[in-house]
Structure 1
Amino acid sequence: MLTTIVGGLLLVLHIAGVLAAMHAVINTRTPQGAFAWALGLVLLPYATLIPYLYLGRSHFHGYVDLHRARRDQMQALADAQLANGSSGPEVNERYGEIAHMLGARFHPGQRLRLLINGDATFEAIFAAINEAKRCVLVQFFIIHDDMLGKRMQQALIDRVRAGVDVCVLYDGIGSHALPNEYVETLQEAGVIIHPFATQRRSNRFQLNFRNHRKIVVVDGVRGFVGGLNVGDEYLGLKPPLAPWRDTHLEIEGPAVADLQRSFAEDWHWVTGELPPLLKPQQGSGNAHTLIAATGPADRQETCSLFFVSLIHAARQRLWITTPYFVPDQAVMSALRLAVFRGVDVRVLIPCRPDHRTVFLATSLYAHDAVLAGIRVFRYQPGFVHEKVLLVDDDTASVGSMNLDNRSFRLNFEIGALNVDEEFATEVETMLSDDFAHAHEVTAAEYEKAPYLRRLAMHVARLFDPVL
């Protein structure tokens, strides 16, 4: 009797595995991902069926339909707020394909402020919030109820009490540890705060398609974007990853309207309403800035193509910092071609893991990169989490995008692409200091590693589609 029951359960599992494999073959975005899921679901449904329920779904039609329907409307609204101005022909010629792909534009006259590490970033953000007169928009992937989180909470409550409208979005999975009491305290004070999810109805199986964006906009005038979330670890206060190395960016000028637009699209999906949208100031700086908002609702794989286009644009130098180096074939091929053009290609990655599987896969890709002539460095003082890219002597990107499949295809991301020699020089100085605190990876790192560690690297790479 027991044998019959067990046999029946196994049969049901295998049938479910086959059905899920059929779903994976039809719906998974890449052939590699479809093959990996299908093979596992057919041969080992006991081990892969439950992970597939959480990670395998590739469609969320409600958000996609609304995103595409409202994108042109939001662009027209943003255009109506902006002063007439256009970037020079050189900027449009070099990066016009990125602007066209994203339905975005370069805005001239931006004032930029490079914010290095958590202390500088949050001092600038809190100073801006404390000066807010009309509206504060806040969006983070992670908000913790710790020292920094409580400071953010109080700053927002103070602004509401001063008569300022405050809207907050946080990712429901990224901030899964955020207690209800934290949110309720903000709501009771008058802060409008919501978790983001691609499905309005709760779905415990939906772990993909997270909103990884970090946006703060104050009075429509000052905007912040970059790699830092709200938590003590981002101030370097939590070993063993401390000190935490990260970078953020403050923007003043018309490009802030595009930060508002990105926030407004997500806010409208969650609430059915639009947040206050305020007119930005005229540009008084020298930078040309494009806000690159990418995500799985786009018709193209915009994040991967964003990196590919920037890599192809490099002629003398391409420096990249990323905590997760798991490039897809297009990005890896672009990096190899840059080496053949004689470009100084460098990649800065961590020397210690925050996610062990991703770290192992990163180590294998680092080895492949070294063999291709790409210089790879491991940052030594602590964990490097910054997402910065420097092209030649005049172009720098700061944002939330990692070089991995999750950013390329599964997460909603945002960054600022800036063309300005003075700002690029600041980024060069910052990255030169980072590389000075790193050691260069050689082929020996992989070749001298124990056999089981090398095996673990190759096994980790099999999970590329969900890393």
Structure 2
Amino acid sequence: MSLPQLLTLLAMLLHVAGILAAMHAVMNTRTPQGAFAWALGLTLLPYVTLVPYLYLGRSHFYGYVTLHRARRQRLSQVSRRGRHAGVPASCAPYAALAEMLGNSFHAGQQLQLLIDGDATFEAIFSAIAKAERCVLMQFFIFHDDNLGRRMQEALLERAAAGVEVFVLFDGIGSHALPGQYVETLRRGGVAIHPFATERHSNRFQLNFRNHRKIVVVDGWLGFLGGLNVGDEYLGLKPPLAPWRDTHLQMSGPAVVDLQRSFAVDWHWVTGELSPMLPPRSAQGNTHTLIAATGPADPQETCSLFFTVAINAARQRLWLTTPYFVPDQAVMSALRLAVMRGVDVRVLIPSRPDHHTVFLASTLHAYDAIKAGIRIYRYQPGFVHQKVILIDDDTASVGSMNLDNRSFRLNFEIGALNVDRVFAADVERMLIDDFDRAVEVTRDEYRKAPYLRRLAMHVARLFDPIL
């Protein structure tokens, strides 16, 4: 067979493979927009799209779903008994969230807002150093840098003291983590594993990442939020430094739901159960709902989490997110909030960490401004925090970004907290952030060069996988 004939045959095979993959995309992609984008690309340009589809196109996994939903059903049966007593009046706007999540608002949390990396990791290291029985730790990213090695030493010290230490990291998020880092922890008595939705490694699977950040010490002190374990989260790596982020420390009965979220992931990865220790009695005044969301849920719980939170706002809705790529439901909720007179503000970065996402986000920001939503760009460095402030009494801190990856592809976790005192703390923090930001006008898009505007529109075509 001559070279031209061989190339022709190869091209035909690629197109056939592209058509088959397009059929798979139409049947399995979670949204019509994503299905259309994949089908069009795979049919017309299989040379460009076939390999990315192998990595990004898969939309279903089964073993984890079965385990997760069985666990959700069991927990729902238990938590419904608590919900029969009635949702507190202050939490009533979010009753649908509790029902959807199969979870309950817990009264009596003590909360501490942890602003930026230094405060966050000093609190976490202090808690680990005092651990007596058990440490549960889950992060999307671990780096083998100064902070990562400090964390390694802290965990090894507690393991040597007889404390049970369990660690999960995401296999893709921590792809650069050396095997020696993990083996050192294992030799020191730390139980550590990478998370994947397939128990058998699948190098073609980049979706369904575990983006949760959870630390629980001795069953009663918990942490969650936006930070991972790496020097950049301390603001030590230009050009994104200083790094602006937020974490939350909590004690009280809601910590048991952090343990449950960790336990179901740990059981999936190892087939074993991590410890479930009782939290301490309630000492605070906050009602907290833990929202563990992800693609194993029967509904798109993360997108619905944002939608319910936005719809609950009556006077004020302030959001901070590194990636502003809302889906239609969330954008419609934001538009309706403006129409009913809510002060809607969104804080986003002024510099990119992912250029394609930044371009798409800029176009979405332009559409939002046209709808009356006020958009601000944080100036000192990169803003990575995921915080929502609703009116004067409710605030959420978690790992959830305002993008399709969090809405539909990642496992996320957040804490929705109803308490005027805590909301006032979040308000003060965000006022300081907005004071360091510049409000965006329509000119950011209108005065951009034509090719940059074209790039924004092209980038937005990839919303389903950003």
For the aligned pair, the TM-score class normalised by the smaller chain equals over 0.9
What amino acid does structure 1 have at the position aligned with 2:11?
L
Partner in structure 1 of residue 393 of structure 2: 394
Q: Deviations over 1:37-71 (max 9, x none)?
A: 00000000000000000000001111111111122
Partner in structure 2 of residue 105 of structure 1: 104
Kept after mapping to 2: 8 A contact 1:394/1:422: yes
Partner in structure 2 of residue 330 of structure 1: 329
Q: Structure 2: 5+ residue runs without aligned partners?
A: none
- How far 1:207 sits from its partner (Å)? 0.2
Partner in structure 2 of residue 239 of structure 1: 238
Partner in structure 1 of residue 70 of structure 2: 69
Cα separation, 1, equivalents of 2:160 and 2:453: 57
Cα separation, 1, equivalents of 2:288 and 2:282: 11
Q: Does 1:57 align with 2:58?
A: yes
Q: Structure 1: 5+ residue runs without aligned partners?
A: none
- How far 1:318 sits from its partner (Å)? 0.1
- How far 1:163 sits from its partner (Å)? 0.6
> For the structure 1 residues 356 and 86, does the alpha-carbon distance in structure 2 shift closer, same or farther, using more than 3 Å as the test?
farther
- How far 1:90 sits from its partner (Å)? 1.1
- How far 1:94 sits from its partner (Å)? 1.2
Cα separation, 1, equivalents of 2:125 and 2:85: 32
Cα separation, 2, equivalents of 1:111 and 1:401: 22
Partner in structure 2 of residue 455 of structure 1: 454
Kept after mapping to 2: 8 A contact 1:78/1:258: no
Cα separation, 2, equivalents of 1:169 and 1:428: 33
What amino acid does structure 2 have at the position aligned with 1:61?
Y
Q: Deviations over 1:343-399 (max 9, x none)?
A: 000000000000000000000000000000000000000000000000000000000
Cα separation, 2, equivalents of 1:256 and 1:191: 22
> For the structure 1 residues 449 and 203, does the alpha-carbon distance in structure 2 shift closer, same or farther, using more than 3 Å as the test?
same
Paired residues for 1:9-408 under 5 Å: 9-74=10-75, 89-408=88-407
Q: Deviations over 1:180-209 (max 9, x none)?
A: 000000000000000000000010000000
Q: Percent identity among equivalent residues?
A: 74
Cα separation, 1, equivalents of 2:113 and 2:169: 24
Tell me the SS of whatever aligns to 2:282: coil
Cα separation, 1, equivalents of 2:86 and 2:387: 22
- How far 1:270 sits from its partner (Å)? 0.2
Cα separation, 2, equivalents of 1:362 and 1:88: 37
- How far 1:294 sits from its partner (Å)? 0.1
Q: Deviations over 1:276-312 (max 9, x none)?
A: 1100011100000010000000000000000000000
What amino acid does structure 2 have at the position aligned with 1:65?
T
What amino acid does structure 2 have at the position aligned with 1:41?
L
Cα separation, 2, equivalents of 1:110 and 1:8: 65
Kept after mapping to 2: 8 A contact 1:86/1:108: no
Tell me the SS of whatever aligns to 2:344: strand
Cα separation, 2, equivalents of 1:377 and 1:341: 21
Cα separation, 2, equivalents of 1:379 and 1:316: 23
What amino acid does structure 1 have at the position aligned with 2:147?
L
- How far 1:91 sits from its partner (Å)? 3.2
Q: Deviations over 1:251-282 (max 9, x none)?
A: 10000000000000000000001101100011
Cα separation, 2, equivalents of 1:102 and 1:391: 20
What amino acid does structure 2 have at the position aligned with 1:68?
R
Cα separation, 2, equivalents of 1:205 and 1:87: 46
> For the structure 1 residues 182 and 76, does the alpha-carbon distance in structure 2 shift closer, same or farther, using more than 3 Å as the test?
farther
Partner in structure 2 of residue 8 of structure 1: 9
What amino acid does structure 1 have at the position aligned with 2:6?
I
Cα separation, 1, equivalents of 2:91 and 2:178: 46
Cα separation, 1, equivalents of 2:289 and 2:171: 28
* TM-score calculated relative to the size of structure 1: 0.98
Cα separation, 1, equivalents of 2:223 and 2:71: 24
- How far 1:72 sits from its partner (Å)? 3.1
Kept after mapping to 2: 8 A contact 1:85/1:108: no
